Amino acid sequence: MAPLTIPLNDGKQIPWLGFGTGTALYSKDAEAAIRVAIANGIVHLDGAQMYQNEDSLGNGIASSGKPRSELFVTTKLGKLPEGKTVRDTLVESLKKLKLDYVDLFLIHMPIHHEGKLKAVWKEFEELQKEGLAKSIGVSNFRIKDFEELLDGANVVPAVNQIEYHPYVYKATAPLLEFQKKHNIVATSYGGLTPIVRQKGGPVDPVLASITQRLTKDVGKNVTEGQVLGLWLRSQGIPEITTSSKEERVKEYVATQTLPDLTPEEVNAITEAGSKVHHRAFCKWLDD
């Protein structure tokens, strides 16, 4: 089955389902997990300098035997070390990843480059010209960060990777509206927060009833995690997720073949999520 993809504003495509090496794998050896993800059909692999495991992500890619052309690999710029350029850090990342280029290079945190976003982005544009990064984008950006970066930019970021799930829907709506105007795709991390970090909220009963309906309709077990994935898919938002368990990886992959939620179901999840606000990561985004 060909992976489901979402078009980017630079003419490239991003696979809808991504496997991340942060959160559970942060600063841990990710090689085995990456091999499992690739063996089960995940081709979009999401790393970062800050996760301190790009070398094991590279080992997982190398030992998987998957052709480079079939993979979509992301890494992200951390804090810039004194005396180093953005290019220096990407060249180091590529050495660790054992790759000649990444498919997507992101500014990980705007707060790491206060007052310097424009200069950093100029370097990103050069790296894209050079072919070291096929697409360039950002992560954890607010509207004000975009306004600063876009002023004088030649390339509009292709992606903004953000924490996105029903409990931040309301807080994120203005940002998504802004991104839509500039054709910037949002990709989601922390998408399973309602079931893994915030059980007992208003989204629970809605997920339970949709899970039941889908399980009956497709004749096989559908999980609440898959329903949250379908909620993201309904909005054209790629899901970056992670797990050390193979059965969980298989579950994520199977989401791609499930039928769409009805518009009513999408709205029911959104409305329930809008009743409370819960951000699990980067709390400064709410300031």
Q: Which residues are documented as binding site for substrate?
A: 108
Pick from 269, 230, 262, 245: which is nearest to 4 by CA? 230
Q: Are 255 and 229 in contact (CB under 8 A)?
A: yes
CB atoms within 10 A of CB 2: 8
Q: What are the helix (H) ranges across 18-168?
A: 31-39, 54-64, 86-97, 117-130, 143-150
Which CA distances in Å does 65 have to 17, 38, 71, 94, 236?
A: 20, 9, 11, 18, 30
Q: Is the dihedral of CA 75, 80, 82, 85 positive or negative?
A: positive
- Contacts with 100 (C-beta within 8 Å, 6 or more apart), sequence order: 68, 94, 132
169 is catalytic: no
Q: Which amino acid is at 174?
A: P
Q: Which of 26, 51, 101, 167 is catalytic?
A: 51
Q: What are phi and psi of 282, to 5 degrees?
A: 40, 60
- Contacts with 135 (C-beta within 8 Å, 6 or more apart), sequence order: 8, 10, 12, 14, 103, 104, 105, 128, 158, 159
Q: Which residues are the active-site residues?
A: 51
